[in-house]
Amino acid sequence: MGKQFLDLKNPAEVKTIIESLPFKKEVERVALEDSYQRVLAEDVYATISLPPFKRAAMDGYAVKAEETFSASENKPVILKLAGQIKTGEAPKIRLEKGACIEVSTGSPLPEGANAVVMVEFTEKKDKTVYMQDSVAIAENITDKGSDVTEGELLLSQGTVITPYKIGVLSAVGMGKVPVFTQPKVAVVSTGNEIILPDEELKYGKIYDINSQTISTAVKSCGCLPISSEIVKDDYNSLKNRINQLKDVDIIITSGGTSAGTGDVLRAVLDDIGEVLVHGIAVKPGKPTIIGLIKGEDDKNNRAEDDKNNKKIIFGLPGYPVAAVMVFNIFVAPFLKKMASLDIATENPTLELKLSRRFRPSRGRLHYVLVKIQDDVAYPILKDSGAITSLAEADGYFEVPKNVEIIEKGTPVEVILLGDLKSCYCQ
């Protein structure tokens, strides 16, 4: 325990390592009502045409359009009322010459009819209807398949299911939806000083910030967060807890990653897995760990380089701002890829002038949180333990590791934190 950082890696190298991490995609079928915000695992084709029959688009009377061509308010065409077709009913009568049939919006159109006169332009008297306006052929009707034809592609694989997509699936009668299984992500806060929000706050203790913060962020990436009890900074406690998390795809811890004697994640990984990254040349977030843990199947696998059965672990720093920034920049894109979410769209950026002279940390890529006011970027000068920094921040800008000072008024590219902010205070 207490090993120093073996190899401080640059951010680009770390992203390459993360992109190469192994994961499996599985498919399940869920009830339509449970498919909201899930990702389609297959192309979905229409099993029926929509609408499935020719229907009235307005309340009124189904007619033969050519019989109304001379109709006007002063000289209406008089047609015999031959019956009525309600919505949900199959037509039992055929429209004959000189007649009309009463229909409602959505009613199937009777055979022999080719238009609908709106009820507003008619007058009903006993068994006759006075048509006071003419209609063209196909007016006020909706043809079968005018929206979707049977066999047509409705939704593509990879589509995120929104309320409107659920409406489309409902329209073709799909009760079960093929979706990618949500990756299960265990979220573990570590630290002797951490207590639950409803516990009495004694001197030297702090409430657990990271569990709910990171769990909500995990959910925003299309994954299923699995909450864990707080684990003490103790080798056996952490090792035992990690070994208990057998049914998850990824473990995310916060705390226990620094090179101090009280931080034990590195020692646990050296024992039960392998460390891929221990230390990133960024601020905040330097003491980040990325590793693989041997799975049950992997223990019996002789191919030492086969990583497919190993569990991924991300060890985030304990300070909330550092944990969130590392999650957003390094972990979130990978989780979204696992969840089959589109990660091609990057957060929008703005070029703004800096409000004041700023002296970054040298030797590391520095992520600087800013508040935007009147098109000016104001650096938030709080440490990585100040969770309110995230609530105040509108975005951040990056400072290369060898920059010594940035003068007031210098244009900087601010990466907006829309998703991050809404998720924490993505």
The architecture in CATH of the region 55-142 reads: Beta Complex (2.170)
Please enumerate in sequence order all residues whose Cβ is within 8 A of that of 73, keeping only pairs 6 or more positions apart, or say none. Answer: 132, 133
Q: List residues bridging with 178 in a β-sheet.
A: 29
User: Do 310 and 292 contact (CB within 8 A), yes or no?
Assistant: yes
- pLDDT, residue 304, reads 46
Q: CB neighbours (10 Å) of residue 194?
A: 22
Q: Please check the confidence at residue 270 and state whether its pLDDT lies above 50.
A: yes
Can you tell me the distance from the alpha carbon of 150 to that of 171, in angstroms, rounded to the nearest whole number? Answer: 12
Is the domain defined by 349-424 classed in CATH 2.60.40.10?
no
Q: Which amino acid, residue 16?
A: T
Class of domain 35-46+150-180: alpha beta
Phi-psi region at 44: left, alpha or beta (left = phi > 0; alpha = psi -120 to 50) = beta
* Domain ranges across the chain: 11-26+182-338, 35-46+150-180, 55-142, 349-424
77-94 pLDDT, tens digit each: 999 999 999 999 999 999
The percent of residues in the chain predicted with pLDDT above 70, rounded, is: 91
Please enumerate in sequence order all residues whose Cβ is within 8 A of that of 381, keeping only pairs 6 or more positions apart, or say none. Answer: none
Give 264's pLDDT tier (boundaries 50, 70, 90).
confident
Q: Please check the confidence at residue 370 and state whether its pLDDT lies above 70.
A: yes
Indicate the CATH number for domain 11-26+182-338.
Answer: 3.40.980.10
Please enumerate in sequence order all residues whose Cβ is within 8 A of that of 151, keeping only pairs 6 or more positions apart, or say none. Answer: 45, 46
Can you tell me the distance from the alpha carbon of 407 to that of 426, in angstroms, rounded to the nearest whole number? Answer: 30
Would you give the end-to-end CA distance of the chain in angstroms? 35
Residue 24, token pair as written in the block:
């499996």
Please give the average per-residue pLDDT across 330-347, as a whole number: 87
